[in-house]
Amino acid sequence: MSRVGLLGYPLSHSVSPAMHNAAFAALDLPWRYELLETPAEDLPAAVARLRRGEWMGANVTIPHKARVMQLLDEIDPSAAGIGAVNTIVRDGERLIGHNTDVTGFQVDLRSHGVEIDGDEVIVLGSGGAARAVTAALIPGGAHIRFITPLLDEAQRLIEDLVTASSAQAQILPWEDGSFAGIQCRLLVNATPVGMSPEVEACPWPQDIPLPADAFVYDLVYNPAETMLMKRARTEGLDSGSGLGMLVEQGALAFELWTGKTPSRQAMAAAAQTALEQRHA
């Protein structure tokens, strides 16, 4: 039995085991995907555990996507250029970091009919997920406004990813509400706000209307309709959850681990079923 898992904290929201184990079963692979709930202080030990023979790698989620890089032996260009790892592959005794979030986001955004070509985009957050979203938007020459309380983190993101590109960026502090009235083609929530079990939370202020013509994309996928998505629906806007991105980035990670192409349909169905069961 080969094993892979998910490093993060907390992980009660995750449907990744159901998704990946369905894909393993569909290909009759003797593999198992497990949750490896890992507080920050336990991350070095958890990564060291991956070097054991039965572990073939892992996914990485909040809050470890940046910090985990210093614990790995090699960083693939897909992750090095972003400054965030979401997939670890064990190669002998070496651990190699990759990032499949960028392509996962691009593929799912296109599935919603959204193409960015020099358009205005608002990104909520500035961490590892926001880095992947930014890298995905840069080829389209987006003008990105980051709304976050973590101004230094956002500035590092811009310096690392945006400055040398054709895209443009601006930081707007969360606290002062100076983003009220700003319009955009796309609004992306790249924070965990609204994720189960805190399903009543919303990353957009209640007293500020959403941008009138925006497509609202919430990287949170549990619950299936977040409070932000409900706000979008109420205000007449189209929206999408991060479930499609989860499936696509997971399928790409699956290929890195196994060398085989999984059934994305099986993965999506299993993830959807797991979500429905949790909120039945």
Active site residues: 65
Dihedral (Cα; 107, 202, 195, 104), 10-degree rounding: 10
Q: Please tell me the distance from the alpha carbon of residue 115 to that of residue 110, in angstroms, as a whole number.
A: 6
Taking the CA atoms of 129, 135, 141 and 145 in sequence, report the sign of the dihedral they define: positive
User: Beta strands 87-91 and 55-60: pairing type?
Assistant: antiparallel
| Burial (0-12, 13-18, 19+ Cβ within 10 Å), 14 | buried
Pull the structure tokens for residue 264. 């994305």
Smallest Cα–Cα separation from 109: which of 266, 272, 241? Answer: 241
Report how far residue 199's alpha carbon sits from residue 25's, in angstroms, rounded to the nearest whole number: 31
SS (H, E, C) 148-183: ECCHHHHHHHHHHHHCCCCCEEEEEECCCCCCCCCC
3-state secondary structure of 84: coil
The phi, psi pair for 256, rounded to 5°, reads -65, -40
